[in-house]
Amino acid sequence: MLLSGPGAPRPGGWLDERLPLREARRVFRRWRRTRPFWGGLLLVLGGAELLVVPLSPLTVLVSLGIGGIAAIGIGIALVVAGVFLWVLPGAHHYVSVNALILSVLSFAATNLGGFLVGMVLGIVGSALGFGWTPVAQDDQEATGAPKVRDGQGTRTLAVLLPVVLAGAALWGAVPARAAAPGDGAVAARTPPTVTTTLFAPRGFIVAGVRTVPTADGPLKVMVLRMDAASLTDYRLRTRDGSRELSLAADTLDLRGKVTLYLTKFRGCVEGLLCITFTPDRLPVPPLVPPFVFMTDVSAEQALVTSDVIDAGGLSLRAHP
């Protein structure tokens, strides 16, 4: 039974009556209950912790090498993601997934995810943000809380968030435009299979999806652009009529306007998180930080262009 009138208990109890700024706290409480506040707060705290570790004076424990730069970038990105959860609560699913990926990557890319603290805060904050549900419309009207429509701002965030997160995580990475294959270049009917134990790109960006010509007609591929890439234990296998050809190199370095046209790409980010991309399933965000590498990579490569290709230990074999 609900009581009303002068004798009814006030929301918040006796402590709420004795604390200062009661009206301001009431407004803040109403605002907080219409968005995944605690998930956003944990993301902000996790990002701040990642920032504090490499910038702290404890040079004995950490240094501002690659791990320090990555910690700064991912830390800023997590703080931005937490703010997005507060500003656009309807897009909490989209924001949380991106924040979760960054939190997991921080373990390998930074100082063990800020000695696990920042990574754990980011993962928990992402989970809280993803699992948050908006207040039902009837409950909003009863309590006088602001109405929040699930999905509000999602279209805007779909455009802004990858740019903001990637821009925060990348310091000075310049995205390159997709280039068309050279005039007269025709891809093979069946894309060769490429494998490498280590793929380390620089200035990597997914430039979109296009079609390339083959003898059997156009082929849908995803276009990957990068400034340079280093591959270890490179292997390429293809067929020429009834024979199978294999190209192998101990190391393969690509430099200057490198463009890959792939129908499939699979690898393990930092050797931990294994993912698969296709023209119908592109990565989000489309930019890859320069400190990220991939292991156990396999790809179906329609075409590749590069200004310079250096191969070490190159060999070519034909198998019946």
Above 70 in pLDDT, residue 269?
yes
The reply to whether 250 and 165 lie within a common domain is no
C-alpha 31/C-alpha 116 separation (Å) is: 31
Question: Quick one: pLDDT band at residue 17, thresholds 50, 70, 90?
Answer: low
Residue-averaged pLDDT of the chain: 74
280 and 218 in contact (C-beta within 8 Å)? Answer: no
Q: Is 9 helix (H, G, I), strand (E, B) or coil?
A: coil
Structure tokens that stand for 257 in this block: 């306007």
42 and 122 in contact (C-beta within 8 Å)? Answer: yes
* Domain contains 3: no
The reply to whether 127 and 272 lie within a common domain is no
The reply to whether 146 and 223 lie within a common domain is no
The reply to whether 89 and 230 lie within a common domain is no
Question: Quick one: pLDDT band at residue 283, thresholds 50, 70, 90?
Answer: low
* Domain contains 32: yes
- Boundary (domain end) residue, out of 112, 134, 169: 169
Which domain does 143 fall in, by range?
A: 13-169
The reply to whether 161 and 37 lie within a common domain is yes
* Domain contains 155: yes
* Domain contains 271: yes
The reply to whether 215 and 158 lie within a common domain is no
pLDDT digits (tens, 9 = 90+) for 94-118: 888 888 888 888 777 666 777 788 8
The reply to whether 165 and 201 lie within a common domain is no
* Domain contains 113: yes
pLDDT at residue number 30:
86
Query: Model's pTM, two decimal places?
Result: 0.47
181 and 305 in contact (C-beta within 8 Å)? Answer: yes
Q: How many domains does the chain have?
A: 2
**Least confident range of 28-32, 76-80, 129-133, 171-175:** 171-175
pLDDT at residue number 177:
38
**Mean pLDDT computed over 35-63:** 74
The reply to whether 31 and 132 lie within a common domain is yes
pLDDT at residue number 271:
77
52: part of which helix (H) or strand (E)? helix 37-55
pLDDT digits (tens, 9 = 90+) for 113-127: 777 888 889 899 988
Question: Quick one: pLDDT band at residue 18, thresholds 50, 70, 90?
Answer: low
pLDDT digits (tens, 9 = 90+) for 285-308: 555 666 678 899 999 988 888 888
More confident site: 56 or 43: 43
Question: Quick one: pLDDT band at residue 28, thresholds 50, 70, 90?
Answer: confident
225 and 176 in contact (C-beta within 8 Å)? Answer: yes
**Least confident range of 134-138, 180-184, 235-239:** 180-184
Question: Quick one: pLDDT band at residue 42, thresholds 50, 70, 90?
Answer: very high
Backbone φ and ψ of 85, nearest 5°: -60, -35
The reply to whether 276 and 238 lie within a common domain is yes
